[in-house]
Amino acid sequence: SVTDGINFFLNPDLQGLTPLECMDKVIEYCGQIGLRVILDRHSLRSNNFQNEGLWYFPTDPFNYGEQVFIDEWVMLAKRYANTAVMGADLWNEPKGQATWGVGDAATDWNEAAERVGNAILAANPDWLIIVEGVGNNSWWGGNLQGVAANPVNLIVPNKVVYSVHEYCQDVFNHTWLIDETFPNNLRGVWNDNFGYIVKQDIAPVYVGEYGTAFRYPGDYTWLRHWVAYINGEYSEDGVNDLKDGEQGLSWTFWAINPGGDVGGVLEDDWITVNEAKMAFIRSALAPLLPTYDPIPTTQPTLLQSILTPSSLSPIVAPTQPVFSYFHTKGSQIIDRNGRPIRISGVNWYGFEGEAHIPQGLWIRSYQSLLDQIKTVGFTAIRLPYSTQMLQPTSVTDGIN
């Protein structure tokens, strides 16, 4: 695979890098400015997620079996330990043959999520493990009803975050979006598929994707109800159901990129912010997430001062910053001090595509785009990528 679509005059430090090395640069800069990162294994082959019904693809000429899936995640977990990366969205939009809890190891996604999640945590116990649902009678990846009887259990406790995607008619005319009871039927659909996990305090739910281009009149109504829902209004009574100190659902909007099914936060010039969208989602923005743990300066004790020769170097704190990581408690994601936090981010796609680089770098630098993401108010980015992008034969081939 190669990267394409880079203006090297604007991005000189990406010249000659592989796609993975370009990802290194993006993640490193996110850490410098305080943005956190969620990695999303979007597809095996580039731009092929719609045709991939399982997390592995053994009939592919490259023999993308489950072990390849596990090995790539372990490699990333080691590579991005103590960086801005806070979690692994294991597999984008399970669908097709994917099942949950039926007892078939070849198709049960919940069992596979445990296998790869445990492998990741064995290599890097700090990350959150993000597990999407399956695509039965819902948006792809949106059915988490199986969690009630078959939750995902990992070797490190309090690391599982379940995830869904939610869209409107712009993407597909699901029956509940055109039902005569719309929009009063929405919360029933959401609660049945995934909301019960939060309401019953089982685990956090993170919305990896949602968005709209406002092509249909009902899109405005859908988004208004959806934002109220993720902010804690889980029933139709208009009352917020969050307890004191709790946070609403974490999320990453789709997407910063213009174009596609639902457009983006940025207009086609890759600079102008779509204020119609931001007017809806601004109420769900949360403060910046903790970036670094405090580094204690270790002072010698009185006994050490007496017994240690003055010629020896004093005990000092490590100079490398230690990134903060998170775990879960009931329906909340919490920081190292037990305080609930909320991810309110945006997707920046492109690594999963044929160019193997986030889009927009033909018109601006990756630093300026990430700076704008933070300025608009987002606190994290979700980076989709493909297994093909990670192949060792990857090289860059840019356009100035």
Q: What is the set of active-site residues?
A: 93, 209
Give ∠ CA 48-50-54 in degrees, rounded to 5. Answer: 90
User: Is 199:241 a contact under the CB 8 Å cutoff?
Assistant: yes
The CA–CA distances, whole Å, from 255 to 33, 198, 281, 346, 350 equal: 20, 25, 12, 6, 11
Q: How far apart, in whole angstroms, are the C-alpha atoms of residue 56 and residue 64?
A: 6
How is the chain split among helix, strand and coil, in percent rounded to 5?
A: 30, 20, 55
Helices 366-376, 19-33: axis angle to 10 degrees equals 40
Nearest to 359 by CA among 255, 257, 208, 211: 257
Q: How far apart, in whole angstroms, are the C-alpha atoms of residue 119 and residue 298?
A: 34
Nearest to 314 by CA among 305, 302, 306: 305
The DSSP symbol for 101 reads S
